[in-house]
Structure 1
């Protein structure tokens, strides 16, 4: 048995050990990728300012975003 260099096996279909008709790459979901590039990042100070609590209205409901003494964030309905 002779091992071929990886670059030869991957680039030369005649020397490949992959069965014909086998997909050579996994398709990428471009919708998911484009969604992730539109995600905004906000600093918590932009939302809270000097306050420990801010109210957020979302779909008619009020949520509380607050910071703890340990500096963690809690979001409650």
Structure 2
């Protein structure tokens, strides 16, 4: 992984390919939408996220890291 990692390089990574193939397509490459964690958490330490009928929890730690658990 390059030493200078930015949001564009992370959000356009092949693992985020919507086809599930994990490879970049020859079509125009568009990065995934960028959302600030503060917009998701809205001043709270934890937020629930429903995904495919399952509840996940996104939690901010004391050290400023994020943990996503099912």
Listed one character per residue, the Cα deviations across residues 48-77 of structure 1 (whole Å, up to 9, x for unaligned) are 010000000000000000000001000000
Look at both structures and tell me which one has the larger radius of gyration over its CA atoms. Answer: 1
Q: What's the RMSD between the two structures over aligned residues?
A: 1.7
What is the aligned partner in structure 2 of residue 59 from structure 1? 52
TM-score, normalising length: structure 1: 0.55
TM-score, normalising length: structure 2: 0.60
What runs of 5+ residues in structure 1 fail to find an aligned partner?
Answer: 1-27
Equivalent position to 1:44, from 37, 43, 55: 37
- Ranges of 4+ aligned residues in structure 1 off by more than 2 Å: none
Q: Does 1:29 align with 2:17?
A: no
What runs of 5+ residues in structure 2 fail to find an aligned partner?
Answer: 1-23
